Amino acid sequence: MNEVKFNIRLYFTGGMKRLTDRIDSTDNLTPQRIVLNAMTELFDSLSEDEIEMIRLRYMKGLTLSEVASRYSISERTVRNHTNPTVKQVKEIIARANKNELIDRKEEIECQ
């Protein structure tokens, strides 16, 4: 399972929030909290249909064709509704990884 699919599944199952709360229950802006907040903002901005298409693709493992047939739309339309969100999830993960590396580097330099 790739990192994007893993994070989408973790978010929709509530696992991301549970892990984030377990890591830091003070609501500090840890890298995990930043990812959770960014993904919450992203998914809150989507329509119910877009969220459902992403759930079908990444939670249930349906193909573009299967999702398109459920909505009676083309695969291209499904792609147009899901790909921008997936791209944003990739960017959120990349930013979090970059920040985590910067934080680790600063921590090492301070020691």
Q: What is the tens place of the pLDDT at every residue in 53-87?
A: 999 999 999 999 999 999 999 999 999 999 999 99
Answer for the pair 38, 7: CB distance below 8 angstroms, yes or no.
no
**Closest alpha carbon to 96 in 4, 14, 15, 24:** 4
Confidence band of 108 (pLDDT split at 50, 70, 90): very low
Q: Categorize the per-residue pLDDT at 107 as very low, low, confident or very high, splitting at 50, 70 and 90.
A: very low
Structure tokens at 48: 């119910």
Strand ranges in the chain using DSSP code E only, listed in sequence order: none
How far is Cα 83 from Cα 101, in angstroms, rounded to an integer? 27
Average pLDDT rounded to a whole number, residues 33-58:
94
Q: Residue 34's pLDDT is what?
A: 85
Mean pLDDT to the nearest integer, 85-107 = 77
- Of the two residues 22 and 10, the one the predictor is more confident about is 10
Alpha-carbon distance of 43 to 23, in angstroms, equals 22
Report the predicted TM-score, pTM, of the whole model to 2 decimal places. Answer: 0.79
Q: What is the pLDDT of residue 33?
A: 85
